[in-house]
């Protein structure tokens, strides 16, 4: 696999999907359906999925693709594959809160090694480059025009004043009890995979997830955080979070900058 080509294709497809999503987002009304797992899906999810899936197939015809919106791809059995969430944060999209993202990742031997997270409404674009460095691109985010590229790294945590980032819609007593184990000075809310990126760019230190997620929810953000020097581990035993698991379902996990003494559940 050519890392430069992966980076180029990921960026192009994420921006094209983001443009399509924003065209629908700016409409007065759009169709909303309910999937078999009771989660919502919109025409924006489906349109973005089509753009990304077809683009990856054309560019890399031999690499398996797993995408949230196509159940037939969930049976792929491989340790190396692309994994896509074309619109992570559909509830944020529906309620026009802006914290939704386009996510594409390349998983190699169970590890997310390259990824892109694009938040078109927030105008933030994060990805890994061909040398496995994490970047935030500042600028107009046009397909044919690169903006200013800023290499990003996690920050060194102040263990007495940690900054926690958590989901806007999945905070419960179990999560609050776990966060209370740390010395926290600030708690920030963010939707979708942006939570990984906030740690990667040094705007937060710790993201515990005590709730159900799927691999397509986390792989791209995980790749960006990993290449920025961060870690993602299982909540139960603090072993690395791996990909290609049965049904692509994640256990609870903790994402953080190194140097934090992770607490047991």
Set out the domains of the chain in order of their start, with CATH numbers.
Answer: 3-151 (3.30.540.10), 162-256 (3.40.190.80)
pLDDT band at 159 (very low <50, low <70, confident <90, very high): very high
**Residue 40, pLDDT above cutoff 90:** no
Question: Which range is least confidently modeled, 74-83, 121-130, 256-265?
Answer: 74-83
In the chain, which ranges are continuous DSSP H helix? 3-25, 43-59, 90-94, 173-179, 194-200, 215-227
Confidence at 76, pLDDT banded by 50, 70, 90: low
Please report the sign of the dihedral spanned by the C-alpha atoms of residue 120, residue 27, residue 39, residue 170. Answer: positive
What is the C-alpha R_g of the chain? Answer: 17
Provide the whole-model pTM.
Answer: 0.95
Residue 66, pLDDT > 70, answer yes
Helices (H), 171-214: 173-179, 194-200
Whether the predicted pLDDT of 241 surpasses 80: yes
Report pLDDT digits (tens) over 85-105.
Answer: 999 988 888 888 888 999 999
**Mean pLDDT estimate for the chain:** 92
Give the 3-state secondary structure of residue 43. Answer: helix
What confidence score (pLDDT) does residue 136 get? 98
Average pLDDT value for residue range 220-248? 96
Confidence of residue 38 (pLDDT cuts 50, 70, 90): low
pLDDT computed for residue 170 by the predictor? 62
- How confident is the model over 160-173, as pLDDT tens digits? 999 999 876 667 88
Q: Biggest alpha carbon distance in the chain? A: 50
């Amino acid at each position: 696999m050519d890392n430069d080509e992966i980076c180029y294709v990921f960026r192009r497809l994420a921006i094209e999907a983001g443009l399509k999503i924003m065209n629908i987002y700016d409409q007065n009304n759009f169709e909303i359906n309910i999937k078999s797992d009771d989660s919502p899906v919109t025409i924006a999810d489906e349109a973005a999925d089509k753009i990304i899936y077809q683009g990856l197939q054309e560019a890399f015809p031999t690499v398996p693709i797993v995408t949230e919106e196509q159940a037939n791809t969930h049976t792929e059995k491989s340790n190396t594959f692309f994994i896509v969430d074309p619109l992570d944060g559909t509830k944020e999209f529906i309620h026009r809160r802006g914290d939704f993202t386009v996510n594409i990742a390349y998983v190699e031997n169970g590890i997310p090694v390259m990824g892109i997270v694009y938040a078109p409404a927030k105008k933030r674009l994060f990805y890994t480059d061909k040398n496995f460095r994490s970047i935030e691109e500042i600028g107009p985010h046009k397909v044919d025009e690169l903006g200013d590229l800023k290499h990003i790294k996690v920050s060194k945590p102040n263990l007495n004043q940690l900054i926690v980032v958590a989901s806007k819609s999945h905070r419960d007593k179990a999560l609050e009890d776990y966060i209370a184990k740390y010395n926290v000075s600030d708690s920030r809310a963010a939707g979708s995979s942006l939570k990984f990126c906030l740690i990667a760019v040094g705007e937060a230190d710790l993201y515990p997830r005590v709730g159900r997620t799927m691999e397509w929810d986390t792989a791209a953000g995980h790749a960006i955080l990993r290449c920025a020097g961060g870690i993602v581990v299982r909540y139960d035993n603090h072993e690395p979070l791996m990909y290609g698991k049965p049904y692509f379902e994640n256990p609870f996990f903790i994402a953080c900058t190194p140097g934090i003494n992770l607490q047991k559940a």
